[in-house]
Chain A
Amino acid sequence: MGYPLRTGQATLWLACFFATQAAFAATPENLHNHPVWLTLGHYHQDTLGSGYTSQADDPAFFLSEHGKTSPRDELAATLEAIQQPGGGNDHARCRFPARDAWLREQLDLPGAQVDCPDYDEWFEELNTEKVTLVFAASYLNSPSSMFGHTFLRLDPPQNDSEADLLLANTISYAADAAEHDSELLFAYRGIFGGYPGITAIRPYYEMIRLYNDIEHRDLWEYTLNLSQPEVDTMLAHTWEIQDKNFDYYFFDENCAYRLLALIDAARPGTNLLNEVSTHAIPSDTVRWVRDAGLVERVHYRPSAATAVSHRLDTLPRDHRTIAAAIASGYVQVDGPELQQLTDQERAWVLDATYDYVRYQSEAKGWPREFAAPLSHQLLVSRSRIEEARDMPPVPEPEIRDDQGHDTFRVSLGFGQLAHEEFTQLTLRPAYHDVLDPPAGYRSGAQLQFLRLDARLYHDNQELQVEQLVGVEIRSLSPRNQFFSPTSWQVGFGGRRTDTGTERVFTPYLEGGAGGSWRLGQNSQAFAIATADLEIDDDIRRGHDFAPGADLGLLHQTNRFSLLAGAKTKAWIISNQHRQDQLYVKGNLHIGREFSVFAEFTREDHFDRYQSTWQAGIHAYF
């Protein structure tokens, strides 16, 4: 179809090519294929053919009208533009300082000073010595945040007493979605494109407010070992892409992806983008950065939720009770219960109570008429205590998020279903389930994408898809005196279901909500009300629905994880039978690379008993 068009392009290309050759004979032949040039132009090799296309979706990012698809034309145009006399904000040298610096170095061009008022001011105000990659971990009771979020912090010189990390600037890249877009539209446009991605510069204290305080996510700060010239190159390139549109895609060209491109630009040869295949999960990108030897030091900044839990836990039990009573309004801030404490003890109770009241106001929307006067009284009382030691800081978790098990899991198992032997192969691209090694993950949280269970039955050599999980999210968050989160789960996909005569593959949708209570350091008991929907021609009425319940125990340690319980479902539309299940699943962890698993299920369905067991090994990549 595009034959004449292509000829046209080719002619044009040739014209440009010769023009370039004539004007800049000094251009080394393959400079436009240089990795640094390709990185600076965000060029990637086309899937089909040998050409290149830039990921920038903004004409303002290119100086040549063929810049998007021609690194050569763009290089020629850039080279011409930066050699024009003059200066000022609109000069190519001011718009593309990173390209300018690199080309001048490569071609030994005279590097005369150029006057770029806006860029120079911007650069000076950012006042950056070090760059820190900040990772916002997933938050309590929200496994969907498990992918995390990353942004870059521009750290001012440490010996500058007028500088302060809270005032440091950050660079982040995000989808510029309209506030009124529904979740569905957001999901659709995010996956198939349609949202512009924007590079935003914001002060760190705003990011702390957003992630630490509002979303209750812990922040991990990975200071990179970039040298001052490398940092300067990164800033110069940030200036080039700032305000330029790069379409945003959730799975690959997302927040983390664009930051990797910036790091690649800062230190040529790093090639972090080569690690990206189909998706760039922010927590994985942190691993790549770490594995590339880019991390100098790591600092942990707990979220408001983590800090308040820790503070409450630090209080002795009877002081904790006083804190709960003050927060509920049963005990006055100047009441005798508090006055009898020493200054030191009272200071800690007031601190912990204040943090708790703030947390509840932000997270649970406690009414201001109650929370604000109480907050004020707590702080006024606290300000009268002068010499109190600070509460001990939240200890840094022993295992960081990036040190947890790798997220791609392959499993091989052997088992029996009602005396039929099978071998099962499971592939799970992402991310974590409650039986995987828990270190580095939130306890009780589970998020799985696109898990495929395939079985080969030995007797008849039949290969069957047992289950294909689209998405499965589960959050078991224990309730206590202070916090009362809802435990919940949701999932959809396809699975084998028993129609009474055969096991057919049917699409399903399931969900549930309930509560969970801590039994010990590593154990919790949960009770969830569930609902299941299956839709398939092979089901008598085409679909079936089951309310049900799931009661169980979850135990998670770095050595061993166990999930056991009883499920009951009452299928009420088509098959009108109860389905009762007892299940036990255990994983023995061998480091964070392997787990040996075993599971047993006893089921009563259609008035007959049936057992399934399976054992095998999980490997994490």
Chain B
Amino acid sequence: MKKLIAGAILLGASSMAFAQPGCGVGAMIWEGQSGIAPHVLAATTNGTFGNQTFGMTTGTLGCQTNQSVQSMAMYMDSNIDKVARDMSRGNGENLDTLAVLLGVDQVDRDSFRKVLQDNFATIFPNADTTSGEAVDAIVSLLEQNESLSKYVAA
């Protein structure tokens, strides 16, 4: 487990120098266009233009101390629209990744998926929900669930 989290943080660190995940407001869901129109030549020749990673914004929400939650927050920040999509359908690889980051055991995966699907409207109350707010909502939902609360314990 530790290895995985360290890995997930390493990923982030390679390009965004240990931002404090779970502290930020994070990306707004459906931010609109990602703004990187493919450069014709870059596409042909594989140049990279600047940093195309998706940075985090620091904000006002409280920092999470649970490392798994931090990893989840970091992942949500880059992939919030896909996580939301999988969540509404109750399955999908991005939801699996979330479960892996939180360390949810195979036996609990079904209830994990179901809780998130059933409470979609609570996690994403409106179209302006940020990833930070969604993470906080997920944490409090899981905390209230008997079998899932252990995965988000601080």
B120's partner among A177, A282, A383 (CB-CB below 8 A) is: A383
Verify A164–B100 contact, CB threshold 8 A: yes
Measured between beta carbons, the chain A residues less than 8 angstroms from B38 are: 139, 142, 145, 214-215
The answer to whether B33 and A365 have CB atoms under 8 Å apart is: yes
User: Is residue B136 within 8 Å, beta carbon to beta carbon, of the partner chain?
Assistant: no
A62-84 CB contact bits vs B (8 Å, 1 = yes)?
00000000000000000000000
A375 touching B30, Cβ below 8 Å? yes
Can you pick out 20 interface pairs between chain A and chain B where the beta carbons lie within 8 Å of each other?
A124-B3, A127-B7, A139-B38, A144-B44, A145-B43, A146-B44, A166-B97, A167-B97, A167-B100, A183-B39, A200-B14, A209-B54, A210-B36, A213-B34, A254-B46, A361-B33, A362-B33, A379-B88, A383-B121, A386-B117
Across-interface contacts of A163 in B (CB, < 8 A): 4, 100
Q: Give 1 or 0 for each of A165-177: 1 = CB within 8 Å of chain B CB.
A: 1110100001111
The tally of CB-CB contacts under 8 A between chains A and B is: 181
Extra 9 A-B pairs, beta carbons < 8 Å, given A214-B34, A214-B36, A215-B43: A147-B44, A167-B75, A177-B48, A183-B41, A201-B14, A372-B127, A379-B87, A379-B120, A383-B89
Residues 136-179 of A, flagged 1 when their CB comes within 8 A of B and 0 if not, give 00010010111101000000000001111111010000111111
Bound Cα distance from A372 to B11, whole angstroms: 29
> Which one, B18-26, B59-67, B76-84, is touching chain A?
B76-84
On whether the beta carbons of A127 and B3 are closer than 8 Å, the reply is: yes
Query: Do A177 and B49 touch across chains, with their CB atoms under 8 A apart?
Result: yes
Beta-carbon contact of A178 and B50 below 8 Å: yes
Residues from 336 to 382 in A contacting B, C-beta threshold 8 Å: 347, 351, 354-355, 358, 361-362, 365, 367-368, 371-373, 375-376, 378-380, 382
Kindly list chain B residues whose C-beta atoms are within 8 Å of the C-beta of A108: none
A179 and B87 contacting across the interface, CB-CB below 8 Å? no
State the interface size on chain A (CB cutoff 8 A): 73
Report whether B88 and A382 are in contact in the complex, using a CB–CB cutoff of 8 Å: yes
Residues of A within 8 A of B30 (CB): 358, 361, 368, 371-372, 375-376
A205 touches B97 (CB 8 A): yes
Does any Cβ of A come within 8 Å of B91's Cβ?
A: yes
Which residues of chain A have C-beta atoms less than 8 A from B124's C-beta? Answer: 376, 379-380
In the complex, A167 Cα to B7 Cα: how many Å? 8
Contact A383/B88 with A167-B8, A183-B39 known, Cβ cut-off 8 Å: yes
**What chain B residues lie within 8 Å of A214 (beta carbons)?**
34, 36, 38
Is A418 part of the contact surface with B, judged by Cβ < 8 Å? no
A202/B127 in contact, CB under 8 A:
no
Provide the residues of chain A in CB contact with B14, threshold 8 Å. 200-202
Q: Which residues of A contact B1 (CB under 8 A)?
A: 162
**Are A186 and B7 closer than 8 Å at their CB atoms?**
no
Tell me, in angstroms, the Cα distance from A125 to B11 when the chains sit together: 10
Instruction: Please report which residues of chain B, range 82-111, place their CB below 8 angstroms from some CB of chain A when the two chains form the complex.
Output: 84-85, 87-91, 93-94, 96-97, 100-101, 103, 105-106
Pair A164/B96 contact, Cβ less than 8 Å: yes
CB distance from A152 to the nearest CB of B (A): 14
Chain A 116-145 interface mask (CB, 8 Å, partner B; 1/0): 000001101111000000000001001011
CA distance A121 to B9 in the complex (A): 13
Cα A380 to Cα B122 with chains together (Å): 10
Tell me, yes or no, whether B153 is within 8 Å of chain A by CB: no
Closest 10 CB pairs of A and B: A383-B120, A179-B50, A379-B88, A376-B127, A175-B47, A372-B127, A145-B43, A203-B11, A250-B45, A368-B32
Return the contact of B89 from the options A161, A178, A382 (Cβ within 8 A). A382
- Does A187 lie at the interface of the complex (its beta carbon under 8 Å from any beta carbon of B)? yes
Provided the pairs A145-B38, A210-B52, A390-B91 are in contact, do residues A186 and B4 lie with their beta carbons within 8 angstroms? no
Neighbouring A residues of B79 by C-beta, 8 Å: 205, 209
CA distance A166 to B75 in the complex (A): 10
Instruction: Tell me, yes or no, whether A422 is within 8 Å of chain B by CB.
Output: no
Question: A174-B47, A202-B53 known; A379 and B7 CB under 8 Å?
Answer: no
Residues of B within 8 A of A538 (CB): none
Partner of A358 from B7, B47, B81, B93 at Cβ < 8 Å: B81
> Is B15 on the interface with A (CB-CB < 8 A)?
yes
- Contact bitstring A234-252, B, C-beta under 8 A = 1, else 0: 0000000000000010100
Q: Are B120 and A380 in contact (CB under 8 A)?
A: yes
Interface string of A455-491 (1 = CB under 8 A from B): 0000000000000000000000000000000000000
> Of the candidates A164, A169, A383, which one forms a contact with B87 in the assembled complex, judged by CB atoms under 8 Å apart?
A383
The reply to whether the CB of B17 lies closer than 8 angstroms to some CB of chain A is: no
